[in-house]
Chains A and B, each alone.
Chain A
Amino acid sequence: MKFRKLLFSAATLISVLLLSGCGYNMVVFEPQGPVARSIMELINWSLIWMALVVVVVFGLFGYIVWKYREKPENKDYEPPEEHGSMVLEVIWTAIPILIVIALTIPTVKTLYALEDVPPGYENVKPITIHVTSADWKWIFSYPEQGIETVNYVNIPEDTPIDFKLTSASTMQSFWVPALGGQKYTMGKMETQLYLVADHPGSYFGRNTNFNGRGYAGMEFEVQAQTREDFDQWIKDVKETAPKLTERKYEELLEPTHLGRMTFSNTHLEWVDHADPDSPSYTNPELYRYHGYQGRVFEEEDNYRNKTNDDKNLHEHHVEGDGNGGEHSGH
């Protein structure tokens, strides 16, 4: 029976090694740009050491359990008294420390490297793209080009993209696994991420931080293009795409799933959600689902309080429709 267990463990181990190293095509192991590639190299480095640990411990475990298991012929064997061994204990403290050091050095190096333009691209002028996540869509603004897209983002190949991340609603996470690691988007603050695609292609991106009912579908596409195609696309958009109005934008931020959209201006003209003093674009009444509804509080910095001419004001007014505990606690 022990043997079956051993076999099972060994099979598990082998499958870990096989599947992680090669075989099954996993997006993290098929990087399409220098950022993702540097992370993959770090992961592979760690896999070597971890495989070593697994082999040693599994081997020792299998050997000990097999050799010292109770058998009919050793029923009378009384195990010796042992209290430990200084030498052994020092060894199995020291070796893990060495392994941790071996992992720490490249980890720290990579952590710092990821904050900068990837090596080899320092001389290429980066393109800035503002990413605003909302429930449940991704909004990409190109301030230099003056265009805005929803749920897809086109980038030129071999150009560092300086993504400025923020959120118009909950905390979300921006991830394009083929190009690099993820980072959170948070309202009223800005995080930053450099990504580069080193050849044209379509890459899958999504939110990884749970944010309610529409979370599963909160995906986008990164389309890496040649420089010429990208420039042509920008030109086309500027000529053909409609303008985004403030009203239209407010509608956009309501909790919905949308397809792709393209606009020939950006919402940064009137609001930057990364600004700590920007208004809150929240619509609690649109989040009512089943169950008992509690009291919702009036927020002074809600966007509706600034647009008095908006006739939606009364329809959408947060309080006053008797939606919860009238007897507040204060």
Chain B
Amino acid sequence: MSANVNTSLPLEYQTEQSRMNILGFWIFLGAEIVLFATLFGVYGVLYERYAGGPTHQDIIMMREVMIQTILLLTSSFTCGLAIFEMRRNNLKGLITWLIITLLLGVGFLFMEVNEFLHYIHEGATMQTSAFLSSFFVLLGTHGLHVTVGIGWAILIIIQLLQRGLTPVTARKTFIIGLYWHFLDVVWIFIFTFVYLKGMVA
């Protein structure tokens, strides 16, 4: 299974098992796209059903959301730099950029949790209306993905420190990179269709 090694490829693509894992992960991301598309669909159906509760304009804190967006977009960029360093076989650069990515991710998460607490404080909870149910679940699912991503990346960093750059650790790093970029793409859609549209509507 791990036969068929091709050393002319980048480290993460060298073994057949790695190539399969990466393809498998792409397909998993395909499933994630369907998952988020469904959540966006649900939000799209329910987003005007306020049931007498607060509307978008009543609650959204645009400034904080802008900062969150910048944090997450930057983290995606630094994540790209990390993979770039990995391709240059620079373990130290890789780990440094990964840690920066994670810190930005934690910053994003911290602000999002604060944002949620603020909404709840204002009386806008998941139970208030169909709009808020779909709003919190869509954003919460993304936030949960970011949380899992942070935990996962920490495991990868530990393994990189233990084992250095091997075809296996390189593949794992590459896959978490794909995941992180995916979360960024999802956020762009959330930012556009939930926040910007909510402010305009």
Contacts and interface: CB of A to CB of B under 8 A. Distances in A.
Interface of A: 277, 297, 300-301, 330
8 contacts: A277-B52, A297-B127, A300-B51, A300-B52, A301-B51, A301-B52, A330-B125, A330-B126
Contacts of A277: 52
Interface string B81-96: 0000000000000000
Contacts of A297: 127
**Category for how many chain B residues contact A:** under 10
Interface string B32-68: 0000000000000000000110000000000000000
Nearest to A301: B51
A300 B126 CA distance: 14
B68 to A, nearest CB: 22
Given A297-B127, A330-B126, 6 more contacts: A277-B52, A300-B51, A300-B52, A301-B51, A301-B52, A330-B125
Contacts of A301: 51-52
A301 B52 CA distance: 10
B172 to A, nearest CB: 33
A22 B127 CA distance: 56
Nearest to A299: B127
A300 B123 CA distance: 13
Interface of B: 51-52, 125-127
B200 to A, nearest CB: 24
A330 B116 CA distance: 13
A273 B51 CA distance: 15
Contacts of B127: 297
Nearest to A298: B127
Contacts of B126: 330
Nearest to B49: A276
A330 to B, nearest CB: 7
| CB-CB nearest 8 A-B residue pairs | A297-B127, A301-B51, A330-B126, A330-B125, A301-B52, A277-B52, A300-B52, A300-B51
A330 B126 CA distance: 10
Contacts of B52: 277, 300-301
Nearest to B127: A297
A300 B127 CA distance: 10
Contacts of A300: 51-52
B45 to A, nearest CB: 13
A143 B154 CA distance: 67
A164 B52 CA distance: 26
Please indicate which of the listed interface residues A277, A297, A300, A301 has the most CB atoms of chain B within 10 Å of its own CB.
A300
Nearest to B53: A300
B102 to A, nearest CB: 28
A93 to B, nearest CB: 30
A209 B125 CA distance: 33
Contacts of B125: 330
A300 B128 CA distance: 9
A297 B126 CA distance: 13
Nearest to B129: A300
Nearest to A276: B49
A300 B51 CA distance: 10
A91 B126 CA distance: 57
A232 to B, nearest CB: 45
A193 to B, nearest CB: 24
A301 B51 CA distance: 9
A277 B53 CA distance: 12
B139 to A, nearest CB: 15
A297 B125 CA distance: 14
B30 to A, nearest CB: 30
A300 B52 CA distance: 10
A277 B126 CA distance: 19
B127 to A, nearest CB: 7
Nearest to B51: A301
A330 B52 CA distance: 22
A202 B107 CA distance: 71
B7 to A, nearest CB: 42
A12 to B, nearest CB: 41
A280 to B, nearest CB: 11
A225 B52 CA distance: 45
A238 to B, nearest CB: 38
A301 B130 CA distance: 13
A301 B128 CA distance: 11
B76 to A, nearest CB: 31
